[in-house]
Amino acid sequence: MKQKPVKITKINEGHYLEILDRLHCQMTDIEHHLLDHPVSQKYDALREHIIKAVVNLVKAYQIAGSLASSDKLKKKKKS
Cα(77)–Cα(32) distance, integer angstroms: 42
Question: 79 by DSSP, 3-state: which?
Answer: coil
Cα(27)–Cα(61) distance, integer angstroms: 10
What pTM does this model have?
0.79
Question: 67 by DSSP, 3-state: which?
Answer: helix
**Helices and strands counted in the chain (H then E):** 3, 0
- The per-residue pLDDT string of the chain (79 residues; one tens digit each, 9 = 90 and over) reads 677 777 778 888 899 999 999 999 999 999 999 999 999 999 999 999 999 999 999 999 999 999 988 876 666 666 5
